């Protein structure tokens, strides 16, 4: 006598295979979303550097040049990097109006760092979200990406 088996349900092996495939797809999606977020943060960091550079250029145009004394105690040392905060931003004015209203953020959501090192020279530091590199911008508009966090572009030495 032959017993007929009816297959009305999935076997355990079939269910496990489906679960593994769903897990792999979910992992790929999470990885792709994370990569897109990092890319967006790096774009934000570069844009923030450009915003600060433009504000400094307008300030220099309006005030002939850039001096640390223009900022009072905010940038006392030309060799030190200072976080860009509300107090320092309030000093960047042209025509009686503030050039930047909110503190620009870098790739890891921290404040940018600025160094004023001469009448037409400044440095802007922005951390990258993707790795330990920093983004440097000088008054000449040259962009530097480098790993050595303690060194600076030759224009600001």
Is residue 81, in this structure, part of any structural domain at all? yes
Is the pLDDT confidence value at 107 over 60? Answer: yes
Range of the domain at 116: 13-156
> Which position has the higher pLDDT, 97 or 73?
97
Is residue 132, in this structure, part of any structural domain at all? yes
Q: What is the DSSP string of 93-157?
A: EETTEES--S--B-TTS-B-EEEE-SSS-EEEEEE-SSSS-EEEE-TT--EEEES-TT---GGG-
Which pLDDT value is given to residue 7?
64
> Which position has the higher pLDDT, 153 or 114?
114
Domain count, the chain: 1
What digits encode the pLDDT tens for the residues 13-33? 999 999 999 999 999 999 999
Is residue 7, in this structure, part of any structural domain at all? no
Which pLDDT value is given to residue 151?
46
**Which of 17-26, 42-51, 88-97 tops mean pLDDT?**
17-26
CA distance 25 to 148: 38
The sign of the CA dihedral 86, 92, 95, 96 is: positive
Q: What is the mean pLDDT of the chain?
A: 77
CA distance 31 to 79: 40
């Amino acid at each position: 006598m032959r017993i007929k088996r009816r297959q009305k349900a999935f076997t355990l092996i079939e269910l496990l295979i489906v679960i593994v495939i769903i897990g792999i797809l979910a992992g790929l999606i999470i990885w792709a979303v994370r990569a897109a977020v990092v890319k967006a943060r790096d774009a934000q960091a570069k844009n923030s550097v450009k915003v600060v550079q433009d504000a400094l250029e307008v300030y220099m145009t309006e005030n002939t040049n850039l001096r640390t004394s223009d900022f009072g105690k905010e940038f006392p040392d030309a060799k030190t990097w200072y976080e860009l905060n509300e107090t320092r931003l309030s000093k960047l004015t042209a025509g009686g109006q503030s050039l930047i209203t909110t503190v620009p953020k870098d790739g890891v959501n921290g404040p940018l760092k600025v160094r004023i090192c001469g009448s037409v020279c400044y440095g802007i530091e922005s951390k990258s979200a993707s790795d330990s590199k920093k983004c440097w911008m000088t008054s000449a508009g040259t962009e530097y990406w480098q790993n050595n966090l303690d060194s600076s572009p030759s224009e600001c030495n």
